[in-house]
């Protein structure tokens, strides 16, 4: 087996360069090849084109997590090349791996050999998820992308904290006599208690 090939469930070797080859073929077929950088639908179309030509008839060997991790690396290289954020959904689109399978692997329910969430599949999928989260966080912090901020909130539990304003020292606001009287008038009335001396 060549260094740049992966083995399918049927024992057929598929070269990682096939992924890149079909990506280039798809881009060259566009009326404006640069449009892939600005349009998520065109990028998704490229991933589907790769699936149809590389993985549809040569299903990946799911038991070989190292092989799958190599395919993930090729996928993320494409994402970063075209300015897209990697997601498990788009990886699923490119490879044909059902998205529920990732959840099963993450939870340690697949070929765990008694290792559960310490299995290679579980550890690897969590690593992929961290890369997806990191890419979204970069988009939110570097580009202030509303989409990335929303995705972080929806998928990773991020929240926004209200801004705290603290006034210290001589910068305290000064109240006028009228404002002080108004605040005093609005305070609840209590019975006066006279101290016993």
Q: What is the chain's pLDDT, residue by residue, as a tens digit (197 residues)?
A: 444 456 777 777 665 578 998 998 999 999 999 899 888 899 999 999 999 999 999 888 898 999 999 999 999 999 999 999 999 999 999 999 999 999 999 988 876 566 778 888 999 999 999 999 888 888 778 777 777 777 777 777 778 777 676 666 666 667 778 887 888 788 776 555 555 55
> E strand or H helix at 14, and its extent?
strand 13-15
* pLDDT tens digits, 86-113: 999 999 999 999 999 999 999 888 765 6
The answer to whether the pTM exceeds 0.75 is no
How many angstroms separate the CA atoms of 151 and 88, rounded?
Answer: 13
């Amino acid at each position: 087996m060549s260094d740049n090939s992966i083995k399918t469930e049927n024992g057929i070797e598929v070269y990682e360069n096939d992924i890149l080859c079909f990506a280039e073929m798809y881009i060259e077929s566009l009326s404006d090849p640069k449009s892939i950088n600005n349009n998520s639908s065109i990028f998704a179309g490229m991933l589907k084109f790769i699936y149809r030509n590389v993985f549809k008839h040569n299903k990946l060997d799911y038991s070989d997590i190292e092989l799958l991790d190599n395919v993930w690396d090729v996928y993320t290289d494409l994402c970063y090349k075209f300015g897209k954020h990697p997601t498990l959904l788009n990886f699923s689109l490119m490879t044909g791996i059902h998205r529920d399978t990732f959840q099963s692997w993450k939870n340690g329910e697949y070929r765990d050999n008694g290792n559960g969430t310490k299995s290679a599949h579980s550890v690897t999928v969590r690593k992929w998820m961290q890369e997806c989260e990191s890419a979204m966080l970069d988009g939110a912090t570097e580009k202030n992308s509303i989409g990335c901020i929303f995705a972080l909130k929806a998928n990773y539990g991020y929240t926004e904290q209200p801004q705290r304003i603290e006034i210290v020292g001589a910068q305290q606001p000064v109240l006028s006599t009228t404002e002080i009287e108004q605040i005093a008038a609005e305070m609840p009335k209590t019975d006066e208690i006279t101290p016993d001396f």
